[in-house]
Structure 1
Amino acid sequence: MVLEKKYTFAIALITSLFFFWGFIHNLDPILIPHLRNAFSLTHFQASLVDSAVFIAYFLLAIPAGYIMKRFGYKTGITVGLLVFALGCFLFVPAANMINYYYFLGALFVVSCGLAILETAANPYITVLGDPAKATQRLNFAQSFNGLAAFIAPIVGGRFILTEEPKSAEEIAALSEQARNAYIQAETASVKGPYLVLGLILLLVTVFFIFTKLPEIKEEEEGGSSRGVFGSLRHKNVSWAVVAQFFYIGAQVCILSFLVMYATEVSGVAPTQASYYAGVAGLAFMLGRFIGTFFMRYIAPLKLLLIYALISICLTLYVIYGEGLGTLYAMIGIAFFMSIMFPTIFAVGVEGIGADTKSASSLIIMSIVGGAALPPVLGLVSDWTGSFQLAYYVVFICFVVVALFAWNNRNVSNLDLGSQK
């Protein structure tokens, strides 16, 4: 109890960061159909938004781990916030240039900041306080990521989406001057939200710089590090890297394509679809809070297995169902996948001492699944002509998560969070 009180303020401050990166990630479901409409993109081309976002995690996670090892968690968080803010500001010139690939560049810079930020914040909150409550603590912090998942689509739908977007045929029929003017108007709408977010992030960065935070030294964590990839000798780390790759791929496919799925499969109007994305975000948020509560009574890995199996069943309905029921199944998946990232992460860094920062880098690096798998879904959709059949990609992802939970069920100390 004394340990928890010692770190209360630091935990609260770090928890606030989960909201910010959750907010920016959950603008993507609005940004993707918006840019797809403005630039008349295919499903595959639109999925490159996710690729630009999540490839940064693959490239930056290990450098972020070195930053933490050399300078500590606080420096990693500060650098991450600054790069995050810079990427937000780059949306202004990207909109002015009327070029889809400049948007991808701005998203890449944003995600470089997020990769550094998440590599630092996720393990930091697991080591701040009682080790037995690490999984619960991370799930609780990630609940504010879920809060952002609820708010961001509504805000994005209000300030980014056009009331009456033109179809690809209507855009093609415009004169070159009229077409450029239309695209300019469409892309300009993204400047305000990202500019405001960038300014807020700068203020938060200043606050972090002048706030004293406890630094957890590797020597205090026990053990001896064997380098970044040495942490893979731990069964829970190697499994977590694989599971996180597939889970993030599933999460991105579900949340980022939800608006397109709602309009193309469920027959919902584009402006109304953003509200369904908000409902999915709400389900995601509630799933985090409720899942954290359940972990007081059910071992985290057992709960993860149950949720993964339910998600598999719901995905089959998304593939073969019809009408609004399929959209409600997507919202249900958002609820049940909510605990997956923090639980996989907490299990992956549990009890590995000095390898914690290295393992964090690898698990964050595996978020590249969010870059690799959505384009696969987009290609399957374009090739088969069926957006629904493409969700077999998501089905496979949840099967891998279920296997992760099953294969790690006997790893020691991983169910302590349920005993407190």
Structure 2
Amino acid sequence: MAAGIAGVAQENNNQSEGGNYTFALTSLTSLFFMWGFITCLNDILIPHLKGIFDLSYSQAMLVQFCFFGAYFIVSLPAGTLIKKIGYQKGIVLGLIIAAVGCMTFYPAASMQSYPVFLFALFILASGITILQVSANPYVSILGKPETASSRLSLTQAFNSLGTTIAPFFGALLILNEATEVMTAAQEAESVQMPYLFLAGMLLVLAAIFAYLKLPTVKEHTPEVTDITGSAWQYNHLVLGAVGIFVYVGAEVAIGSLLVNFFAEPNIAAMEESVAAKYIAYYWGGAMVGRFIGAAVMQKIPAGKVLAFNAAAAIVLLLITIFASGALAMWAVLAIGLFNSIMFPTIFTLAINGLKQHTSQGSGILCLAIVGGAIVPYIQGLLADTIGLQLSFLLPIICYVFIVHYGLKGSKPKNV
């Protein structure tokens, strides 16, 4: 998913002291794995909570609304906080807040309260946001600036590993525990132990990172006192922000509805616990596609690769909408493969040529991740009104814009 949230552009503005940072980078990969794992669990929670509380699709999508809404609300304050306390303490704080969010699932289940579940998700996502705002730029400056993108790509591969494994965890420990003979209260309580386990893991990581002697790095801010204009004056940056918005929204919306889609009688008629395991193909495809895309873009311009992938996603969505059975099922899963390179490609194309406005542009792109809160909710409304299968028309609109951005909108041009 959209894991490289903040600081991808920081290599343009930061430099580090010389040193061997292998141990620090190895430790940081665990963080990328954890937040990918936890974020992907939302795809399991949505059908589970939908059944427990008898929710409409739009109501169930409030899970993603609260989760990704936290990114929009917390990102900028988190950036200010990290400047004061430093990267390592920011990581520890993010882990602790995320653990508190996980622990809040326990009273939410005991109270059988959907609003409390949503509150718990907001706390959890706030912690992950602080974690990302700390870890991404930290990875970026732990080494030579010219290899920053390579380091981020490597650590983000572990994020994709987390999103690939999480569906099996959720299917086994959450959906498998829920049976037809269970009461709503018992089904709600099935999330308590898995999220307490996650809270424990997060607290262990917090203790480890509080104890570790990670390198202290110095940020280098260019002494530019006569900065004029704004990142908003760059058309390709503004369109890139829209691209991030629709991409994250489409990716999250599709992943969120997979379990319910596979349960449809004309698709696969799968039980939720079985369908959940297939989500791994969607997110696993994204992991594989990153390696393929990185090789392809060595020879083909990034904009063209982006447009091709978005066009392929459109074709697959049309099959998803108008076909049935295994064809529709595998078509929607294959979209993950073509999603793979979209976030980093849109991001890098959007910040290209911003010069002294790069940091501001990076922040604008980070805020655009709120698309993961809004687009899924709109698709939920569509699913309630025109049906689940036809609701996949919305992601098509998102990918049409991305095709345009890859071919034309990404070309630098001042407004």
TM-score grouping bracket, smaller chain normalisation: 0.7 to 0.9
Task: Give the corresponding residue for 1:20.
Answer: 34
Pair 314,136 (structure 1): closer, same or farther in 2 beyond 3 Å: farther
Shift of 1:101: 1.1
Shift of 1:152: 0.3
Letter in structure 2 aligned against 1:188: E
Letter in structure 2 aligned against 1:73: Y
Task: Give the corresponding residue for 2:157.
Answer: 143
Decide whether the 8 Å contact of 2:234 with 2:412 is kept in 1. Answer: no
Query: Does residue 52 of structure 1 match 2:53?
Result: no
Letter in structure 1 aligned against 2:315: C
Decide whether the 8 Å contact of 2:112 with 2:185 is kept in 1. Answer: yes
Letter in structure 1 aligned against 2:396: F
Task: Give the corresponding residue for 1:253.
Answer: 253
Decide whether the 8 Å contact of 1:219 with 1:354 is kept in 2. Answer: no
Pair 203,360 (structure 1): closer, same or farther in 2 beyond 3 Å: farther
Shift of 1:165: 4.2
Task: Give the corresponding residue for 1:271.
Answer: 273
- Aligned partners of 1:9, 1:345: CA distance in 2, in Å? 28
Deviations 1:38-88 (A, max 9, x none): 111111111111111111111111111212333443343332222111111
Task: Give the corresponding residue for 1:198.
Answer: 199
Decide whether the 8 Å contact of 1:72 with 1:215 is kept in 2. Answer: no
**Any idea what SS the aligned residue of 2:175 has?**
coil
Task: Give the corresponding residue for 2:330.
Answer: 328
Matches within 5 A, 1:156-171: 156-162=170-176, 165-166=179-180
Deviations 1:270-294 (A, max 9, x none): 2220121122222222222333343
Runs (5+) with no aligned partner, structure 1: 171-180, 413-420
Decide whether the 8 Å contact of 1:94 with 1:103 is kept in 2. Answer: yes
Matches within 5 A, 1:16-415: 16-162=30-176, 165-166=179-180, 182-209=183-210, 210-219=212-221, 223=224, 230-264=230-264, 265-266=266-267, 267-349=269-351, 352=354, 355=357, 357-384=359-386, 386-407=387-408, 410-411=411-412
Pair 4,161 (structure 1): closer, same or farther in 2 beyond 3 Å: farther
Decide whether the 8 Å contact of 1:138 with 1:346 is kept in 2. Answer: no
Decide whether the 8 Å contact of 2:262 with 2:329 is kept in 1. Answer: yes
Task: Give the corresponding residue for 2:10.
Answer: none
- Aligned partners of 2:270, 2:354: CA distance in 1, in Å? 48
Letter in structure 2 aligned against 1:326: A
Query: Over the residues paired in the alignment, what is the CA RMSD in angstroms?
Result: 2.9
Shift of 1:132: 4.7
Runs (5+) with no aligned partner, structure 2: 1-15
Pair 97,136 (structure 1): closer, same or farther in 2 beyond 3 Å: same
Letter in structure 2 aligned against 1:36: K
Decide whether the 8 Å contact of 2:290 with 2:341 is kept in 1. Answer: yes
Decide whether the 8 Å contact of 1:62 with 1:362 is kept in 2. Answer: no
Pair 123,327 (structure 1): closer, same or farther in 2 beyond 3 Å: farther
Decide whether the 8 Å contact of 2:285 with 2:336 is kept in 1. Answer: yes
Shift of 1:355: 4.9
- Aligned partners of 1:383, 1:11: CA distance in 2, in Å? 48
- Aligned partners of 1:345, 1:387: CA distance in 2, in Å? 31
**Any idea what SS the aligned residue of 1:400 has?**
helix
- Aligned partners of 2:38, 2:300: CA distance in 1, in Å? 32
Decide whether the 8 Å contact of 1:139 with 1:343 is kept in 2. Answer: no
- Aligned partners of 1:363, 1:79: CA distance in 2, in Å? 24
Decide whether the 8 Å contact of 1:136 with 1:292 is kept in 2. Answer: no
Decide whether the 8 Å contact of 1:149 with 1:281 is kept in 2. Answer: yes
With 117-126 and 283-292 compared, the bigger mean Cα shift is at: 117-126
Pair 305,195 (structure 1): closer, same or farther in 2 beyond 3 Å: same
With 69-78 and 152-161 compared, the bigger mean Cα shift is at: 69-78
Shift of 1:248: 0.9
Shift of 1:361: 3.3
Decide whether the 8 Å contact of 2:139 with 2:151 is kept in 1. Answer: yes
Q: TM-score, normalised by structure 2?
A: 0.85
Deviations 1:157-202 (A, max 9, x none): 0000046644xxx9xxxxxxxxxx7122111111111111111112
Pair 350,118 (structure 1): closer, same or farther in 2 beyond 3 Å: farther
- Aligned partners of 1:295, 1:15: CA distance in 2, in Å? 25
- Aligned partners of 1:398, 1:347: CA distance in 2, in Å? 16
Q: TM-score, normalised by structure 1?
A: 0.85
Structure 1 vs Structure 2: percent identity of aligned residues? 37
- Report how many residues are paired: 395
- Aligned partners of 2:22, 2:348: CA distance in 1, in Å? 19
Decide whether the 8 Å contact of 1:15 with 1:141 is kept in 2. Answer: yes
With 96-105 and 71-80 compared, the bigger mean Cα shift is at: 71-80
Shift of 1:126: 3.9
Letter in structure 2 aligned against 1:18: F
- Aligned partners of 2:370, 2:39: CA distance in 1, in Å? 14
Shift of 1:226: 6.7
Letter in structure 1 aligned against 2:378: V
Deviations 1:351-376 (A, max 9, x none): 65665554443322211111111111
Letter in structure 2 aligned against 1:31: L
Letter in structure 1 aligned against 2:169: V
Decide whether the 8 Å contact of 1:287 with 1:336 is kept in 2. Answer: yes
